Structure 1
């Protein structure tokens, strides 16, 4: 019995050995076993069978495949529209590498048994080399946003327009919008799918959703109540300033502020540049009235500020001017400057707010429309209170040596400074229920600026120029403006005859006198009058503009 078991064991071992030897013999019988120049059978690079190929043949096959995949046709359907592109344009990337060299090494490393095991795995399809394939998300996103989203249909908001003296709401309309993220996911999934490896073309349907308008006709119809208004006046003869006021008001006109959103004056009226339509006009700067691009737009922000106060919307940011302005009481102004002074307010209601602005015929006005929720019989008013007055101080004098001493011109009038508060008073059915402080303001005082002439007085005519002089012309004193050169004293000569002496002296004296008087008239009558007239005109214009 024991002998039979031993024989059986030897038999099994022998069979295994025979099978192993047969397998090895079979492998040796293959053309590419042990051939260092051929890739083992059964090896794939991606979906490409490269078994039995040389490294060069396999690499060419891979390169051709990569080029074909990059140019693979991709069709994206957006509603009834189709966008055609290549896979590469949609972001497909296949890294170029020495894939064939890696494939060639399989089954050619290690001892005989290790080689045998590698070849067995290759034949079983377990030794594939993956191509490094991915989708560049930035490229894909750009493709979707620039090629697919062009077929978006924007939702149409309802607008408020005046028709027959009443504010009416226009029709609103739904829109269609390609969903970027989900469309990107669909394209990426298709490009990296197993099916894409051998397909001639790929088809994807974009994800499109219906979008609702932000401002429907139903909502707009509820926002026709006048919540607050305010008007100021401006001088139409100040053409550049008037233009700036109209430009800024026009940009604000028609603005809709949705619930919870904040309005920024600086953002809406755009940068005050010539490219944006603004002109040079007077404005405050460092306590003086100077010319600046966009001068006058502070009247727009100020007028809007008061309309917003009357509408009882929430003021987020407001700053006073550096000096008082003439178109509103103290503490009722709202200055804007650069990017550090802005007038902002928030729509703290549950309904959209519509701003109507207009500047025409010297009247600037703003109206704020929305849905009235305040109780009936409620009235509000505002009072300015001056808490301190600052005198402007001594005038500042600038001397100009090019102007005559009699010249004097006020180049900027004095400004009194103030500290002030603004109060909001609430009455219900005629009875005061609240008095709330709205803001505090401080305005700088500014002295009067004066320019005076400092030109030296004209020198008096010399004694030799008098008409009664009988001294010979040859002995006349030299001109005061030119020092005579030293000469040798002449020898005493015989004096000329009295008749000739008198005639020559009289002629020369008369000529000098005429020239001197003529020059005196030109200096005292022409130049000062012209300068004074010009300065006065500039001063008056600046004073009006500053106010």
Structure 2
């Protein structure tokens, strides 16, 4: 009876312990699976994974990706390039699945099948690819940071003139990055084409060809028109403004159909741009402003443009007469209100040469002469009306009795026209009105002292001032 009890107890114990035994065997199997190493002859790209555990293979893959993302990728925009690391272009790698695939090779099947896989690897190793992933937002940021600064505008063929001879300056193509087209282009290259080492990608760009050519500019050889004025009596500040303004126009080439804004070419009229305070006209008076005197530059160029017979598209006269040209021969400019603009209406380029030195200001326009030798053009100023300046007197209680101070110089007013006169073989064949101009009269202004305790004298002086007659002021002063 006791033996039977022992047997039953043992059977129960065996039955209850069976799951523990099975689970223990499973855990041992899993541990062995985890400890399995990758077979010899298996590579992840160029990394030899032979004998590595999954964890070791993952670390090796990370090291390789770090090496790869350090390589420089040359991004090309036409003939320019900039090097950017693959990391900055958003290249990264997630190779867990590939490593799992490497670890599974030769681990399944019976002994014979596994042995065959090992022998095959000895003869022909397996190379698994690294998985490159690219963040397109990182690509976009890199292109904006490194490539957008390489954008450049086209530079037209130009001219310089030294010692009376023209030299052609080569043009340069303009290049603009096409960002939206370049982002997927770079991403595709990095994911599907790039293997290793330094990479090269041609970005999508817009090319703008320069205008002109050596052949076209060789046509510029003849003097078409010139003009000059004198500024020797100018202050140093006004002379500086004239020199600066002339320099902005000297050397300009206008191709057929081109227009130029003289005001915009010389702006901004600021101290930072080299201009100084000097007298200028504003609302019928003389004021100090940066760039004062700059209108003499536009006026002198106007004379050359007229004689070259280019098309004037905008021109304004001064509010008051100027002393360096005859009426209607001026061209005033003022930021925001007045401009001098003209257009090259010829079929060949023209070149503007300007100089300002020693009190002499001049412009010459060169191109290809198209007018017959027996033809000449001149311009005549006709004064239609002259308006003599008035006198304006203002009482000043701070000045001594009868003391006078001029506060504004007079300007005679005019109405005038400019005529274009064409002659052939010395005979006038046409006379055409170019412009009509009106110049304001500006009165002579004086302050007159009325400081006195003599009421009779004060009343007499105020009456003289009200008459705006300076002679009456002198009479009252003499009387009292």
Structure 1 length normalisation: TM-score? Answer: 0.57
Is it true that 1:263 corresponds to 2:266 in the alignment?
Answer: no
CA contact (8 A) 1:134 1:192 kept: no
Deviation at 1:198, TM superposition (A): 8.9
1:384, 1:422 within 8 Å by CA — same for their partners in 2? Answer: yes
Which deviations, in whole Å up to 9, do the C-alpha atoms of 1:375-403 show, x marking residues without a partner? 2211111122233444444x221222221
Is the counterpart of residue 145 in structure 1 residue 148 in structure 2? yes
- 1:455: which partner in 2? 451
Find the residue that maps to 1:300 and give its secondary structure. helix
Corresponding position of 1:323:
320
Structure 1 residue 212: deviation in Å?
Answer: 6.8
Larger radius of gyration between Structure 1 and Structure 2: 1
Match of 2:159 in 1: 159
Partner SS for 2:272: helix
Is 1:84 aligned to 2:80, yes or no? no
Cα root mean square deviation, aligned: 4.4
Q: Give runs of ≥4 in structure 1 deviating > 6 Å.
A: 67-70, 79-82, 207-212
Question: SS at the partner of 1:159?
Answer: strand
Aligned-residue offset at 1:143: 3.2
**Residues of 2 paired with 1:438 and 1:69: CA distance?**
75
Task: Tell me, yes or no, if structure 1 residue 230 matches structure 2 residue 227.
Answer: yes
In 1, Cα distance between the equivalents of 2:385 and 2:402? 38
More strand by share: 2
C-alpha distance in 1, partners of 2:415/2:294? 23
Aligned to 2:120: none
> Residue in 1 aligned with 2:117?
none
CA shift in 2, pair 1:181/1:361, >3 Å:
closer
In structure 2, C-alpha distance between the alignment counterparts of 1:329 and 1:347, rounded to whole Å? 25
Tell me the number of residue pairs that the alignment of Structure 1 and Structure 2 aligns: 363
Q: CA deviation at 1:423?
A: 1.4
Q: Could you tell me which residue of structure 1 aligns to residue 366 of structure 2?
A: 369
Following TM superposition, by how much is the alpha carbon of 1:287 offset from its aligned partner in structure 2, in angstroms?
Answer: 1.4
Conserved 8 A contact 2:176-2:207: no
Separation (CA, whole Å) in 2 of partners of 1:315 and 1:380: 16
Once the 2 structures are TM-superposed, how far is the Cα of residue 330 of structure 1 from its aligned partner?
1.0
TM, length-normalised to structure 2 = 0.64
**Aligned pairs for 1:431-442 within 5 A:** 431-442=427-438
Q: Distance in 2 between matches of 1:134 and 1:356?
A: 52
Gaps of 5+ in 2: 1-57, 93-132, 456-480
**2:423 matched to which residue of 1?**
427
**1:360 matches 2:343:** no
* CA positional deviation for 1:337: 0.9
- Kept in 1, the 8 Å contact 2:174–2:209? The answer is no
Judge conservation of contact 2:168–2:217 (CA < 8 Å) in 1.
Answer: no
2:305 to 304, 308, 327: 308
Alignment of 1:4-403 (within 5 A): 71=69, 73=71, 75-76=73-74, 78=76, 83-87=82-86, 89=88, 134=136, 140-146=143-149, 157=157, 159-163=159-163, 167-170=164-167, 172-173=169-170, 179-181=175-177, 185=181, 188-192=184-188, 195-196=191-192, 199=195, 203-206=199-202, 214-236=211-233, 238-393=235-390, 395-403=391-399
Structure 1's unaligned 5+ residue stretches are: 1-59, 95-130, 460-547
SS in 1 for 2:279: strand
State the distance in 2 between where 1:380 and 1:277 align.
37
